[in-house]
């Protein structure tokens, strides 16, 4: 029987596992430090979040360890006079339950609106929990996000147990033989929790869709939900608070290592110009630390331009995808993202270089970039 094609989430996990296996063989001080997570981090569950203020009445929900697998995004909590607006629903029912518990530490007002910035499961597989906790909630997403959540791209949730169970079994076997490093051992309970959570998931698409955007008016506060163009997906939304000069970018920006799976390089560059033009004082990326200038955004644009130029030249020479990927040399820009860290360098290849090369190759060939395609990682 043919093995199921890897989903986007499984692709992240399998890429991380391969990277960790490679890292275990490295002997540099950086690798040794990365092999063992800090004691406090090791005690936290994969979906144990923290809440921190960004502006009066506006909070960031996040998991501090941004490179930990499975990935979990930043989320926003916007407390208004009578209600709460949340940006992104988390990657599992457990993540959403923990988020709601933290929301209750800062307000008892109901969550009336949940915005999904895009269709990737780590941002929306907690939707069902918000709906159960707040029956009157409206879930907002781009029309393409609803299409992808209701259609074949999100079908990976049904395949997730079959994809991940062999990974867990293999890790357990290696653990019994004493072949795993601390960071690899840490993956086992996290993946086992994910397997349990996958059985609880009920995909819950947005029930209010937007094409270009909408504005929520809450007293003097405006909450603008905007589609500035394609980038990481075909339905990327940002949430912009002009009075507070605060922007939630979804995965149009991911720090420190961007995600290239199924993305649209040419449009992404232009979309980031529109993001920059808003004039935000603080940008909260889909994953990673809040940004207070445009430095990271411009670096991402620079690497996207370089990818397009090199892969376009490879396609003009008649190279296939594998050859184009091998010819791609981003060494001049890599350190801006990896800082020379061994784990980051491996994830740079797995999360960014390989998938973005695929997208750029398809784009240069004039071929469609299909969301949730079975060959998404090449």
The encoded tokens of residue 13 equal 């996990």
181 found inside a domain: no
At residue 373, the pLDDT reads 76
The neighbouring-strand residues paired with 111 are: 84
At residue 183, the pLDDT reads 79
Compute the average pLDDT of residues 151-157: 93
Q: Which domain holds residue 208?
A: 50-151+202-365
Cα–Cα dist 378/371, whole Å: 13
With cut-offs at 50, 70 and 90, classify the pLDDT of residue 37.
low
164-185 per-position pLDDT tens digit: 899 899 999 999 999 998 878 8
Integer angstrom CA distances of residue 300 from 3, 64, 239, 270, 303:
35, 22, 20, 12, 5
Long-range contacts: 371-375, Cβ < 8 Å, 24+? 371/119, 371/148, 371/153, 371/233, 371/234, 371/262, 372/7, 372/8, 372/148, 372/152, 372/153, 372/154, 372/155, 372/156, 372/262, 373/262, 374/5, 374/6, 375/5
- Percentage of the chain modeled with pLDDT above 90: 82
At residue 5, the pLDDT reads 45
340-366 per-position pLDDT tens digit: 999 999 999 999 999 999 999 999 999
Cα–Cα dist 184/163, whole Å: 18
At residue 32, the pLDDT reads 36
Compute the average pLDDT of residues 87-112: 98
The encoded tokens of residue 151 equal 């259609």
Say if residue 149's pLDDT is above 50. yes
Q: What is the DSSP string of 30-43?
A: HHHHHHS--HHHHH
183 found inside a domain: no
- Fill in the DSSP letter of residue 252: G
Q: What is the DSSP string of 115-143?
A: E-SSS-GGGTTTHHHHHHHSTT-EEEEEH
Higher-pLDDT residue of 84, 29: 84
330 found inside a domain: yes
45 found inside a domain: no
Q: Which domain CATH number covers 80? A: 3.60.15.10
302 found inside a domain: yes
Cα–Cα dist 342/348, whole Å: 10
At residue 44, the pLDDT reads 84
- Judged by average pLDDT, the poorest of 111-115, 186-190, 207-211, 216-220 is 186-190
Closest residue by Cα to residue 117 from 94, 137, 97, 90: 90
Say if residue 31's pLDDT is above 80. no
Backbone φ and ψ for 251, nearest 5 degrees, come out as: -85, 15
Cα–Cα dist 17/69, whole Å: 9
At residue 306, the pLDDT reads 98
At residue 43, the pLDDT reads 74
Averaged confidence pLDDT in the chain: 90
- Fill in the DSSP letter of residue 5: P
3 found inside a domain: no
Compute the average pLDDT of residues 94-105: 98
182 found inside a domain: no
Say if residue 26's pLDDT is above 60. no
Higher-pLDDT residue of 48, 38: 48
Say if residue 4's pLDDT is above 60. no
Q: How many domains does the chain have?
A: 1
Closest residue by Cα to residue 322 from 313, 330, 314: 314
193 found inside a domain: no
């Amino acid at each position: 029987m043919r093995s199921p094609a890897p989903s986007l989430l499984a692709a992240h996990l399998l890429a991380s596992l391969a990277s960790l296996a490679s890292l275990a063989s490295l002997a540099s001080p950086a690798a040794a430090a990365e092999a063992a997570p800090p004691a406090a981090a090791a005690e936290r569950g994969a979906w144990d979040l923290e809440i921190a203020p960004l502006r009066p009445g506006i909070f960031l929900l996040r998991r501090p360890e941004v490179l930990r697998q499975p990935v979990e995004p930043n989320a926003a909590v916007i407390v208004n006079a009578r209600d709460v607006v949340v940006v992104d629903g988390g990657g599992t029912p457990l993540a959403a339950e923990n988020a709601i518990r933290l929301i209750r530490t800062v307000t008892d007002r109901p969550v009336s609106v949940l915005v999904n910035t895009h269709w990737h499961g780590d941002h929306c597989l907690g939707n069902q929990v918000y709906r159960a906790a707040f029956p009157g909630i409206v879930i907002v997403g781009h029309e393409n996000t609803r299409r992808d959540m209701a259609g074949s791209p999100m079908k990976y949730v049904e395949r997730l147990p079959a994809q991940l169970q062999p990974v867990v079994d293999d890790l357990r076997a290696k653990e019994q033989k004493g072949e795993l490093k601390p960071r690899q051992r840490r993956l086992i309970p996290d993946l086992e929790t994910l397997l349990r959570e996958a059985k609880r998931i009920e995909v819950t698409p947005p029930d209010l869709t937007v094409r270009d955007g909408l504005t929520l008016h809450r007293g003097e506060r405006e909450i603008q939900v905007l589609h500035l163009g394609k980038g990481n997906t075909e339905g990327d939304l940002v949430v912009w608070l002009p009075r507070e000069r605060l922007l939630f970018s979804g995965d149009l920006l991911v720090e420190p290592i961007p995600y290239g799976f199924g993305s649209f390089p040419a449009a992404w560059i232009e979309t980031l110009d529109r993001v920059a033009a808003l004039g935000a004082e603080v940008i909260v990326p889909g994953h990673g630390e809040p940004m207070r200038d445009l430095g990271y955004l411009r670096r991402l644009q620079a690497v996207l331009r370089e990818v397009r130029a090199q892969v376009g030249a490879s396609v003009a020479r008649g190279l296939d995808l594998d050859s184009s990927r091998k010819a791609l040399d981003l060494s001049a820009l890599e350190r801006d993202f990896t800082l020379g860290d061994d784990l980051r360098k491996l994830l740079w290849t797995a999360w960014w270089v390989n998938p973005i090369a695929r997208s750029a190759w398809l784009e240069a060939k004039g071929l469609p970039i299909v969301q949730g395609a079975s060959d998404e990682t090449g």
